[in-house]
Amino acid sequence: MQRHITGLIAAAAALGMAGTLTACGGTGSDDVTLKLVAADYGDSAANSSQKYWDELAGAYEKDHPGVKVDVDVYNWNVVDAKVKKLVDSGHAPDMAQIGAYSDYAAAGKLYPVGKLLNVPTQADFLPQLSEAGQVNSVQYGMPFAASTRLLFYNKKLFKDAGLTPPTTWAELAADASALKAKGVKIPYALPLGREEAQAETMIWMLSGGAGYTDDVGSYTLDSKQNITTFDWLRDDLVDKGLTGPTAPAKLNRADAFAAFAKGEVGMLNGHPTLMQMAAAKGVDYGTVRLPGPSGPAKSTMGVADWMMAFKQNGHAKETGDFLNYVYSERNVLDFSREYDLLPVTSSASETMSSAAEDKKLWPFLKSLGDSELFPVGNTSWASVSEGIKQEIGSAVSPHGSPAAVLGRLQSEATAAESAE
């Protein structure tokens, strides 16, 4: 989810092996090796996603003689580029679990989900995630992991300053001002650095009552609401010195999370992974819905990462059978619990919502129902997102103009959309 943490990078020597037929156990040419390239959600070798996939593939292979599943896991910073390199060189993997799918779908390189999964498995995806996986009303992207964003706050710092969690923008600014007066280094962390600026931007746009697109999916970056939102961020937070010593345009999400885990941040928007980081450092935190102009925001940002299956190697039957296994309730729950993520299926979500062991994830799970996702079904989203990463931080810089920056981004988005 473009918030991703560093993990184990698998050996690049396997790149050229995508989708080859092998003689597993010497039984002949009918044996198939499925190639999967996946992203790493772990932060060390001990909890690398490579370990998860190796165990899952091993269990599957025991019950499916003649099929081998070969998985390479890469850091989120490089996995999209690794897949692109394979596809561009004519060696597409059978499956890729990465951040976006629509460009490959638009190029005709992916199997429709209906040609892979059985009906119960496909119907089990959460409806808003299934819809986000569609291009021209056909689902090509299978959601793999999801998360939502809530406002995290440091309970000790709030208690020391006599504060309660904010429900409005005015209260957030007042709390940040009080924290600054108490010597808190970063009263509110506003990471608009390129690592995940597109996420923090969308969180605030939703908070202000708008977003990236309108009801029919056309970009509306420079809407009146969005300009008002960034005017407020510039005037009421940044210009008043409430976002810490690092300019928002230079602050990356990973650095903001690390500072929160050190007890240096009063408030920031975060996803479930931050819970692990804060708990590991002994930081007592709370979470609340994102504040809006006059009360809690009506919706928050949701994020989904995607699984897709490439047509090049012709392994639709074997790939579909393996993916039916991947998306069983047990396996979806195991992965979600391992990395503090939200399930992408209704069956696993229902189990998690009533399991005491998952109580810490309930607030995020509850907010998933009314969350909004990036417009990943727009094949222009990759270029639009890149533009946001590069430019949005300047909107809240000293003498920055949100109207000018958002207007420029809108022009670029409109041009990209027209080229689809």
Average pLDDT over residues 174-178: 98
* Residue listed under structure tokens 């409109």: 414
Q: What share of the chain is helix, strand, coil (3-state, %, to 5)?
A: 45, 15, 35
- 393-415 confidence digits (pLDDT tens): 999 999 999 999 999 999 999 99
- In the chain, residues under CATH classification 3.40.190.10 are 12-146+303-373, 150-299+380-418
State both tokens at 314. Answer: 């012709």
pLDDT of residue 6: 35
- 55-74 confidence digits (pLDDT tens): 999 999 999 999 999 999 99
pTM of the full predicted structure?
Answer: 0.82
Whole-angstrom Cα distance, residue 229 to residue 355?
38
- 104-118 confidence digits (pLDDT tens): 999 999 999 999 999
- 332-348 confidence digits (pLDDT tens): 999 999 999 999 999 99
| Domain 12-146+303-373: assigned CATH number | 3.40.190.10
Average pLDDT over residues 253-271: 96
pLDDT of residue 291: 97
Whole-angstrom Cα distance, residue 315 to residue 127?
27
- Residue 297's φ and ψ, nearest 5 degrees, are -60, 145
Domain 150-299+380-418: CATH superfamily, name plus number = Periplasmic binding protein-like II (3.40.190.10)
Torsion of the alpha carbons at 193, 196, 201 and 207, rounded to the nearest 10: -130
pLDDT of residue 58: 97
Contact (CB, 8 A) for 50 and 40: yes
